[in-house]
Amino acid sequence: MKKLFLKKGEDKRLRVGHLWIFSNEVDTAKSPIKDFAPGECATVISAQGTPVGSAYVNPASLISARLYSSRPDTPLDADLLRSRLARAMELRNSLFAVPCYRLAFAEGDYLPGLVVDRYHGTLVAQISTAGMETAQDDILSVLNDLCTPSGILLRNDMGSRDLENLPRYTRTATGSVPAEITLEENGVLFTAPLTEGQKTGWFYDQRTNRADFARFCKDKRVLDAFCYVGSFGCNALRGGAAAVTFLDASQTALDFALRNAGANGASERSVPVDTVHGDALETLQQLKDSGRRFDVICVDPPAFIKRKKAYHEGLAAYQRVNRLAMELVEDGGVVMSCSCSQHLPAEDLHRTLLYAASKAGVHVQTLIQGHQGPDHPVHPAMPETHYLKSFCVRVFRGRS
C-alpha cells in the first residue's frame, strides 16, 4: 500500500478517533494527492513517521482520505467488511425483534461512506465515497452472505456523490426489489415507496422519537407536518389519537400516509383522518388563519441548513415553523420539533424554540430531548454523526 503523509500536528484529531483527513492536512510534498487513484487505499503516516491507520483516498474530494482501520497496511477487503457488518448486524438484532432497521450507519459503524437499510428481506444501500464505490462488489457479496436478501437496491442518487466526483444512479444490484416495501416499527405497520421514495425509502432514525410522540396523543387531535408517508401520525393513531391530520408538499406521500393510517386502525376505529397538500410553511400559516387548532403537533422538516453558510437563512426557517406550530397548538398542548441539520446543534434548536415561544406569546416546558435511534450509533469523536435532534415541549398561553 502507498503511504499518505500528514503535516505536523494533523494526526492529533485522528489519534482520538476522527476518521476524516482534509486536503490541507496532507503533506503533498511527500505524498502528492494527485498520485492516488480515487478510492485507492493507503497507510496514513504522521509527520513523526508513525503510522496512524489505513484510509482510502480521493484526490477529487475536500475530504482527501477517510480512515477505516487504526491498523496500518490493512486493505478494505471482504474480510474487513464482513467483520464490521457482522458486528453492526449483531447490535441491531439484539435491539429489534423485527429485521427492519438501519444495518450500517457509515462512520458510526466505522464504515465511512456506506449506509445500508434493511426491510425484512430487502436491503437498500447507499455508497457516497470513492473508496466504498471501489469496494462495491465485496460489499454486495458480504451483505448477501450475512442477510441472504431477496434483493439489494443501490440508491446511489444522492448529491453527496457529486463531492466525490461520482456519478449518480439507482440500480437493482442483486435479486429483485419491489417498488414498495413494508416494514414494522414500534408495532406500527407501514408501506413506503422504495425506488421512488426519499433517500432509502424510510427514516429509521426517528424510531424512538416517534414512540415518545405517541405517548402524548391519546384522545388528542394530532397534526403531522412534513409527514412524508405518515410516520408520526400513524404512531399517534396507535397511541390512541382522536383525529390525525397529515401535511406534506408531496401528494404521493400523502396517499401513502392515508394507506398507512388505514393499516393502523383508523378506519376500524372510525378515527377522522385528513390530509393537507402544500408547502408546509405556507400551509401552516393558512391553517392558523383559518382557525384550525390541534392538541399535539409534530414538525419534522427537511434539513433547512445543508451548509454552514446557509446557517442564518435556515435558522430563520426553523424559527418560523416552530412559531407557527406554537400558534396552532391548544393551550397545554405539545409540540415535537425535530431537526436533521448537522449544522444546527441541539442547543441552537432549543434556543430556537425559546425564540419561537416568545414570538408566539406563549410559555413552554421542555418534556423530552430526543436524538437518533440506536441503529444510528454516534461516533464519539465525530460530532458530524450526531445529526438528529428533537425536543418535546408543552405550550401554555397567558401569564406564567
Note the pLDDT tens digit of each residue in 348-397.
999 999 999 999 999 999 999 999 999 999 999 999 999 999 999 999 99
Note the pLDDT tens digit of each residue in 218-259.
999 999 999 999 999 999 999 999 999 999 999 999 999 999
Region of 143 on the Ramachandran plot (φ > 0 left; ψ -120 to 50 alpha; else beta): alpha
**C-alpha distance across the termini of the chain, in Å:** 66
Q: Could you tell me the pLDDT band of residue 269, with boundaries at 50, 70 and 90?
A: confident
Q: What would the CATH number be for the domain defined by 182-397?
A: 3.40.50.150
Q: Which residues contact 282 (CB under 8 A, 6 or more apart)?
A: none
Burial 206-242 (b: 16+ CB within 10 A, else e): bbbbbbbbbebbeebbbbbbbbbbbbbbbbbbbbebb
- Please state, as a whole number, how many other Cβ atoms lie within 10 Å of the Cβ of residue 72: 16
What pLDDT shows up at residue 167? 97
pLDDT at 399 > cutoff 90: no
Question: Secondary structure of the chain: what % helix, strand, coil (to 5)?
Answer: 35, 30, 35
Residue-range domain boundaries for the chain:
2-69, 78-177, 182-397
What pLDDT shows up at residue 306? 86
**Cell numbers linked to 309:** 453558510
Alpha-carbon distances of 227 from 10, 218, 273, 366, rounded to whole Å: 43, 19, 13, 23
Rounded mean pLDDT of the chain? Answer: 96
Q: Could you tell me the pLDDT band of residue 10, with boundaries at 50, 70 and 90?
A: very high
What pLDDT shows up at residue 265? 84
Domain 78-177 class in CATH = alpha beta
Q: Could you tell me the pLDDT band of residue 119, with boundaries at 50, 70 and 90?
A: very high
Asked if 127 and 138 count as a contact pair (C-beta separation under 8 A), the reply is no
The structural architecture, per CATH, of the domain 2-69 is: Roll (2.30)
Starting at the edge strand found earlier in the chain, the sheet holding 40-45 runs 2-5, 40-45, 51-57, 63-69, 20-22
Q: Could you tell me the pLDDT band of residue 293, with boundaries at 50, 70 and 90?
A: very high
pLDDT at 400 > cutoff 70: no
Tell me the sheet residues that pair with 296: 222, 334
In single-letter form, the type of residue at position 59 comes to P
Strands (E), the chain: 2-5, 20-22, 40-45, 51-57, 63-69, 100-105, 114-119, 122-127, 151-156, 169-175, 180-185, 188-193, 221-225, 243-248, 273-277, 294-299, 329-339, 362-371, 389-397
Note the pLDDT tens digit of each residue in 248-259.
999 999 999 999
Q: Please give the average per-residue pLDDT across 205-220, as a whole number.
A: 98
Q: How many CA atoms lie within 13 A of 248 on its CB side?
A: 23
> What DSSP line would sit under 293-310, residue for residue?
-EEEEEE----S-SSGGG
3-state secondary structure 90-117: HHHHHHCCCCEEEEEEHHHHCCCCEEEE
